[in-house]
Amino acid sequence: MSIQRSLSIFERAKAVIPGGVNSPVRACRSVGADPLFIAQGDGARITDVDGNTYIDLIGSWGPLILGHSHPAILDTIAEAMSQGTTFGAPTEIEVRFAETIRAAYPSMQMVRALSSGTEATMSALRLARGFTGRAKIIKTDGGYHGHADCLLVSAGSGAATLGIPGSAGVPEGAARDTIVVPYNDLASVEAAFTTHGADIAAIIIEPIAGNMGLVAPQPGYLEGLRSITQKHGALLIFDEVITGFRAGFGGAQEKYGITPDLTCLGKIVGGGLPAAAFGGRADIMQKLAPLGPVYQAGTLSGNPLAMAAGLAVIEILARPGTYDRLEALGKRLGDGLLAAATEAGIPSCLNRVGSVMTLFFTAGPVTDYASAKSSDTNRFGKFFRNMRDRGVFLPPSQFEAMFVSLAHTDDDIDQVIAAARASLLAS
């Protein structure tokens, strides 16, 4: 399999783009590979600039739940584009978008559209601080909520640790008020509130963690977070940028029966275009400008092309049987990958929720970031390279998740499993 044209473009890219990529994981450094440059996508497959075709299990990191180049989505975008691309003024489709989101997520009584998941989480946290008059927030170790300064922190030792900057350029002051706790650990949250309760504005949590690899909440965990925040007058923010319309039509909050105060959505709600949203209780959302003192703005927020694409995807996902099909495909792939690893005698465990999963190269169980980090990342790098050589496009990190789409067929899944069996035996 030749990737010479990709390598040539990568050399050009490195001269004009830092690291040659516009988002770090794309560089494939953690798996010992060079990135492929993609020319097109169709259904469950992508084709690189050298003409090689791959079964895609990234799906642009989640948004493409219908697959690539879905005709209905392309037609919708073309129709919207014929009326103009952006206005910097209100449009009716923004209202339809907000109404549609509220109907699917009743906790989001009021909604504001934005252009990225990072904007959504950053804005939700500013609003939480403005509403409560408190400064501190809690996040989990390994929980990624975009690259706002206060969220780029790393935990030290201990159950509940005040954050320190996890990136150059983040001042200590920006991270000082971020408390980092292990995922799935209610005791550490209780300890944080015992020490800092009167100063904690909110907990922000991926209700199903997706950025330490896929890690589901243990029974009672989300219920405990809801109870603790209500007891102490703090807000519970669900980051459903990944899980929104993915874990189910109503996201993780519907799946687990938990009502957060604020919710952040992204990825699928843009239908493959840049879009996100956040929303929640009306009394909280009314603190946003122009009604209240918490400022948030964006020239391209509510972009009509992204709104139209997102609405078209949501309409298709609402059809009967959609999530049953995604569950069946996800189970088929997850069971097959774990069986292949077992056959090869490789210590592994597979975490899956519906159509999202991670095969960890550790005996497991993986319940938090610390246990995820026990994985054999060198083995994963070999697995990634072997799978790519066999025509399967995996996320280039042990600590990311695979995404199955409605465009995948049973035969596609079986091809992936066969490639995994060969790759794992080879490694």
Does the annotation count 144 as an active-site position?
Answer: yes
144, 183, 221, 256: the active-site residue? 144
CA distance 99 to 88: 20
What one-letter code names the amino acid at 253?
A: Q
The three state secondary structure string of the chain is CCCHHHHHHHHHHHHHCHHHCCCHHHHCHHHCCCCCCEEEEEECEEEECCCCEEEECCHHHCCCCCCECCHHHHHHHHHHHCCCCCCCCCCHHHHHHHHHHHHHCCCCCEEEEECCHHHHHHHHHHHHHHHHCCCEEEEECCCCCCCCHHHCEECCCCCCEECEECCCCCCHHHHHCEEEECCCCHHHHHHHHHHHHHHEEEEEECCCECCCCCECCCCCHHHHHHHHHHHHCCEEEEEECCCECCCECCHHHHHHCCCCCEEEECHHHHCCCCCEEEEECHHHHCCECCCCCECCCCCCCCCHHHHHHHHHHHHHHCCCCHHHHHHHHHHHHHHHHHHHHHHCCCCCEEEEECCEEEEECCCCCCCCHHHHCCCCHHHHHHHHHHHHHCCEECCCCCCCCEECCCCCCHHHHHHHHHHHHHHHHHC
409 backbone φψ class: left, alpha, beta (φ>0; ψ -120 to 50): beta
Does the annotation count 412 as an active-site position?
Answer: no
48, 267, 369, 412: the active-site residue? 267
48, 141, 177, 239: the active-site residue? 239
Does the annotation count 239 as an active-site position?
Answer: yes
Residues acting as catalytic residues: 144, 239, 267
